[in-house]
Structure 1
Amino acid sequence: MDKYRKLNLFTLELGSDLCLEKTLEEILKSIPLIREETFDKYGVVIPNVRIKENKALKSLEYVIKVNGYAAGRFEFKKNSILILDTGFVKTKMTGKPAKEPVFGVPGLWITKGKRVEAEQNGYVTLTAPKVIRVHLQEKIKENLSSVITTQYVGELLDEVLKENEFLCTQLVKKYGNASLTVVKLVLCSLLDEEVSIRNLLPILETISNEPKFDRAKIPALVNKVRCSIIPDIIGSLGERNNDIKALLLSQKLSESMFNNLTETGEIAFNPAIRKLFSNELSLKISEMIDQGFSPVVLCVEPLRYSVKFFFDSLGISNIHVLSDMEMTAAIRKMNTSLQVFATIGEDFVPTTENAKEASGNEKTLEASRSKKISNDDYVRLQEKLNQIVGNLEPFEQKVLSMRFGLGEERSHTLEEVGNAFDIPLEKIRRIEAKALRLLRKNANSDE
């Protein structure tokens, strides 16, 4: 697949000062590591990242492009270095406020001469090569499905053909000219949910067992494929002894979701209901993380794809959605145990009328939003939450803000928070758990 790797799907353009020998050397060294880590984790061979100087950029600016479009950019300050407060800073330093570009963590610009002082005081110092590496790695992860082109799938199957001719023959016999398309759609769907495709044979075997190609049934096919590689999915959760604790969608909520499904498989709840559901789910996720569990939601198999899409639309990306079929497969293949952590949607269940309201005219939608915002109870709740969060240590506030998207564009995974502060994941998990315990303790003491 050497020929394919030469495609310029990902491009890193650098300003003139970032092309200086020492800086450029560190950036170049990071690229093979990113490619190796991506393959080890997701089973995807990403093409070489093209690195070039762009004289149109400012001297300390860089741009990451995906398929020719700018996906991220940042500009460093001359003779300055970016520092982040870890929450364990001994002496506060002054500098120009800034935000690191990958996760939006607040930081400070200080002069390079103060770097040693900052590190001795407990700050994390971010060099240009480190920022660029993490930023590039995140953009590659976000766009992994873009790597899976028809050409990529064709060359992938050529590799499989060398050792498993029968399987490839079955695929072609079953789907004909559509075989590459089917495999591509399935692989892209898996990667969009950050599921590794490294264990390729069971994926292809499951696809080959389908009776015929129907694009509308791709989500159902993806669910079957997930069952075939469930050990990999469960293993990625990192739970001890593969024991899973999950949030369960109540039967009434599941029925309501079915009733509000659109033709494209989206769950059409109106904005007010989406907000209530998001709040309840976020609280339960916080409780799970507080107790050291990976956030997992369990639902019935026909809803899994729609539920995951619904969570993504709410900005809740740090959660795994498993179906009852997948859990059955996990219990059978891995002796996995399942415990229900909590049931979601027992007290509040939307109806089909809510979906009709959501699809009404703009005046109806605006009235719904205005009613939601002006609700006295909601305002008091927001004030109380702000007061509680204000009592936490600065770094604890930052961890919660990044993890759950408070004041951010989106929520962030544990790995993303760890990368942002250059701190081991377990340390971030302990800090996060401590912050959540304090938050809950303060909330309960005022009841």
Structure 2
Amino acid sequence: MKFADVFIAFIIVAVVLLIILPLNEVMMDILLTINLSLSLVILFVTLYIKEPLDFAVFPSVLLITTLFRLALNISSTKLILGKGSAGRVIETFGNFVVQGNLVVGAIVFLIIIIVQFIVITKGAERVAEVAARFTLDAMPGKQMAIDADLNSGLIDENEAKRRRQRIQQEADFYGAMDGASKFVKGDAIVGILITIINIVGGIIIGLTKMRMPIEQVLERYTILTIGDGLVSQIPALLISTATGIIVTRAASESNLGRDLFKQITGQPLVLILASVLLFVMGFLPGFPRWILFIMAAGMAYLGYTLLQASRVSLAAAGQEASSESVLEEMRKPENVIQLLEVDPLEVEFGYGLIPLADVNQGGDLLDRIVMIRRQMALDLGLIVPVIRLRDNIQLEPNEYVIKVKGVEVARGHVLPDHLLAMDPGTVEQPIEGIDTVEPAFGLPAKWIKEHQREKAEMLGYTVVDPPSVISTHLTEVIKRHGHELINRQDVQILLDNLKEKYPALVEEVVPKTLTLGEVQKVLANLIKENVPIRDMVTILETLADYGNITKDPDMLTEYVRQALSRTITLRFIPEKKAKVLTLAPELEKAIMDSVQQTEHGSYLALEPNKTHAIFQNLTKELEKFTSLGLQPIVLTAPVVRMYFKKLTEQIAPDLVVLSYNELDSSVEIQSVGVVRA
């Protein structure tokens, strides 16, 4: 890299000196060949890069190549006017275009100049100007999009910083290209002027100084002028084309020498393609073959060497970097603290399921997880933390594990190249497939091939793809363990959001009446029983009313549930009609008599035989509900609800237990069973 720095500085000084120092014909041939080679390489680089910032030094390269081309024009003009000769390259180009007819050759040359100036150069300049303007105009919108992704949790702070820096570089790049395109336009104008000077000056010198006949003067100097113009205009045309390519598809952090060396040699195939073209040109009559062949051989060798070295270095660097980074991380003493971090939610995959989560392989699981977080926010008002996706080679290839706070809570198997067909209970004719169990709800199902989908749907099966199976399972796990995921920090975020519109309410509850932890426990209790907490105003109003009476989170939860009666009714009895189980009066009395009050709260102390009898009776009644296809709902007195719910969590954690005060007055209730002790 140090060599590259010095080399670029030397090249720039040498280009300036070309304008002053005289050159012989052989040196002119070599420099013109180098100029043509550079233009080919730059054009191929612009074709192979994926985005403009991969060739961020292009504006500076454009300036150097333009200066180099102008220096060669000046040197060739001195040779043409001084000696009447400018080397084999220029003469060959001139003869190739003229081919014995000066008028036709001059017209062809004029057309090439017009195309270069009006079409390519003018178009590239306009595109660069428009791209710079639109890039600057789009910056605020891109910045807002990055902030939105950061606030929604889609990206972290480091990724946001990288994207902001990328936007700034794009703006710098297109701004530089807008100015650099003016060099191309000026170069085309100068080329036309030099052509006129060569012809007029050559005629004057040929007639006055060399005493040559007018026909010989016109032929000699016109051929040299046309050849000189083509040798300069063809590379200029290639560079202008490269300019148009790169601005239609900003500045770099490194200096020009390092970026130029890294970015050009980072495309070995470009050097090989350029060497092939130079090798073919060496067989055309009149060209200096030894120069072209040497240049082509050098580029081919360099390109092949770089290509092989890049393959070896990538493979070795990948292994060394992974092992070295692991060792380096292990050596850091502060990383012991990082080992203590536990992700609230994570999903681990076997290697066979990685394509489902890999966007580059067409996986959409990440998008589904974003939708799950939105769904939980809209449904329960729950802020679901960022869900980590990891591969785990210890799992079976098609197995996945869902963890809550580092502990496994669910596990499942899916077949990536199959579909899951579930029987909703109406299927009469079975379909061929691999027997399995749907992981979220434990329903019997079959894995079928893609071509069996239409047949399965016609038979009445519900057919879903593997990502849907995993996302559904994950959604149910979040609902079941949502009360474990909401923490004090999440509650603080909810309160801060509410404080913008209801500052007096928030300040009265926290910290004047209740602590942040007590509010968090009430919200966790609500989420545990699938009660939404989106109506934070009602929740806080209730806590403000009863927070001075009791600090028991369980009792406060009951008061909040009664205040949310319309929400609870709509959630569990949406049709305003329900068949429910009720508790026998003697059972309710027995429960209330068994409640023990302590300074830390209240708890139920029933005798074991009575508890067993309640469980047996409840199980029988629930089986009746299940056989009728109804959702079991138990209706109790308000003072009993909380204790009966805690009692039945052991055998029926998803059982809905409501009190009379939690139902809207318009609900029609029909008791179809009574739970007795």
TM-score interval w.r.t. the shorter chain? Answer: 0.5 to 0.7
Q: Do residues 74 (structure 1) and 74 (structure 2) align? A: no
- Aligned residues: percent identity? 26
Could you say which structure has the higher helix fraction?
2
Of 221, 231, 244, the match for 2:556: 221
Deviations 1:383-438 (A, max 9, x none): xxxxxxxxxxxxxxxxxxxxxxxxxxxxxxxxxxxxxxxxxxxxxxxxxxxxxxxx
Deviations 1:252-291 (A, max 9, x none): 221122233456523635264034321443156358x65x
| Secondary structure of the structure 1 residue equivalent to 2:474 | helix
2: CA distance between counterparts of 1:25 and 1:296?
40
Deviations 1:90-131 (A, max 9, x none): 643344432222222223344555455444544333422111
State the Cα distance separating 1:239 from its structure 2 match.
Answer: 3.5
Aligned to 1:179: 515
> 1:206 touches 1:224 (CA, 8 Å); kept in 2?
yes
> 1:247 touches 1:343 (CA, 8 Å); kept in 2?
yes
Q: Do residues 235 (structure 1) and 588 (structure 2) align? A: no
Letter in 1 for 2:423: D
Q: Do residues 140 (structure 1) and 478 (structure 2) align? A: yes
Question: Residues 71 and 174 (structure 1 numbering): CA distance in 2 closer, same or farther, change over 3 Å?
Answer: same
1: CA distance between counterparts of 2:350 and 2:388?
14
Deviations 1:38-86 (A, max 9, x none): 1111111212222233333333222212111222222334755443334
Of 586, 593, 608, the match for 1:252: 586
Deviations 1:156-215 (A, max 9, x none): 21111111111122123533xx52011101100000100000001010111122354855
| Secondary structure of the structure 2 residue equivalent to 1:108 | strand
Q: Do residues 324 (structure 1) and 660 (structure 2) align? A: yes
Question: Residues 211 and 119 (structure 1 numbering): CA distance in 2 closer, same or farther, change over 3 Å?
Answer: closer
> 1:4 touches 1:152 (CA, 8 Å); kept in 2?
no
Aligned to 1:166: 504
2: CA distance between counterparts of 1:317 and 1:309?
11
Of 32, 35, 38, the match for 2:376: 38
Q: Do residues 192 (structure 1) and 522 (structure 2) align? A: no
Provide structure 2 residue ranges, at least 5 long, that are not aligned to the other structure: 1-147, 157-341
Q: Do residues 273 (structure 1) and 613 (structure 2) align? A: yes
> 1:167 touches 1:204 (CA, 8 Å); kept in 2?
yes
> 1:244 touches 1:338 (CA, 8 Å); kept in 2?
yes
Aligned to 1:92: 430
Q: Aligned-pair RMSD on alpha carbons?
A: 3.1
State the Cα distance separating 1:337 from its structure 2 match.
Answer: 4.2
Q: TM-score, normalised by structure 2?
A: 0.45
> 2:638 touches 2:660 (CA, 8 Å); kept in 1?
yes
2: CA distance between counterparts of 1:279 and 1:45?
35
State the Cα distance separating 1:139 from its structure 2 match.
Answer: 0.8
Aligned to 1:341: 671
State the Cα distance separating 1:29 from its structure 2 match.
Answer: 2.1
Counterparts of residues 126-137 of structure 1 (less than 5 Å): 126-137=464-475
Of 41, 47, 53, the match for 2:391: 53
2: CA distance between counterparts of 1:157 and 1:137?
25
Question: Residues 266 and 277 (structure 1 numbering): CA distance in 2 closer, same or farther, change over 3 Å?
Answer: farther
Aligned to 2:349: 14
Letter in 1 for 2:562: C
State the Cα distance separating 1:30 from its structure 2 match.
Answer: 1.0
| Secondary structure of the structure 1 residue equivalent to 2:603 | coil
Of 483, 494, 504, the match for 1:156: 494
Q: Which one has a bigger Cα radius of gyration?
A: 2
Of 650, 653, 676, the match for 1:313: 650
Question: Residues 253 and 205 (structure 1 numbering): CA distance in 2 closer, same or farther, change over 3 Å?
Answer: same
2: CA distance between counterparts of 1:262 and 1:97?
50
Question: Residues 201 and 279 (structure 1 numbering): CA distance in 2 closer, same or farther, change over 3 Å?
Answer: same
2: CA distance between counterparts of 1:73 and 1:342?
37
2: CA distance between counterparts of 1:322 and 1:86?
28
> 1:248 touches 1:340 (CA, 8 Å); kept in 2?
no
Counterparts of residues 104-119 of structure 1 (less than 5 Å): 104-110=442-448, 114-119=452-457
Q: Do residues 202 (structure 1) and 538 (structure 2) align? A: yes
Question: Residues 43 and 316 (structure 1 numbering): CA distance in 2 closer, same or farther, change over 3 Å?
Answer: closer
> 2:349 touches 2:392 (CA, 8 Å); kept in 1?
yes
Provide structure 1 residue ranges, at least 5 long, that are not aligned to the other structure: 351-447
Letter in 2 for 1:181: G
2: CA distance between counterparts of 1:173 and 1:114?
60
> 2:580 touches 2:671 (CA, 8 Å); kept in 1?
yes
Aligned to 1:125: 463
2: CA distance between counterparts of 1:227 and 1:181?
21
By relative contact order (CA 8 Å, sep 6+), the higher-ranking structure is 1
Letter in 2 for 1:183: V
1: CA distance between counterparts of 2:494 and 2:558?
22
> 2:615 touches 2:648 (CA, 8 Å); kept in 1?
no
Q: TM-score, normalised by structure 1?
A: 0.66
> 1:10 touches 1:49 (CA, 8 Å); kept in 2?
yes
1: CA distance between counterparts of 2:409 and 2:653?
21
Letter in 1 for 2:542: T
Deviations 1:341-390 (A, max 9, x none): 24624xx5x4xxxxxxxxxxxxxxxxxxxxxxxxxxxxxxxxxxxxxxxx
> 2:434 touches 2:448 (CA, 8 Å); kept in 1?
yes
1: CA distance between counterparts of 2:583 and 2:373?
38
2: CA distance between counterparts of 1:78 and 1:170?
53
| Secondary structure of the structure 2 residue equivalent to 1:38 | helix
> 2:427 touches 2:460 (CA, 8 Å); kept in 1?
yes
> 1:174 touches 1:208 (CA, 8 Å); kept in 2?
no
Aligned to 2:622: 282
> 2:350 touches 2:395 (CA, 8 Å); kept in 1?
yes
Q: Do residues 301 (structure 1) and 638 (structure 2) align? A: yes
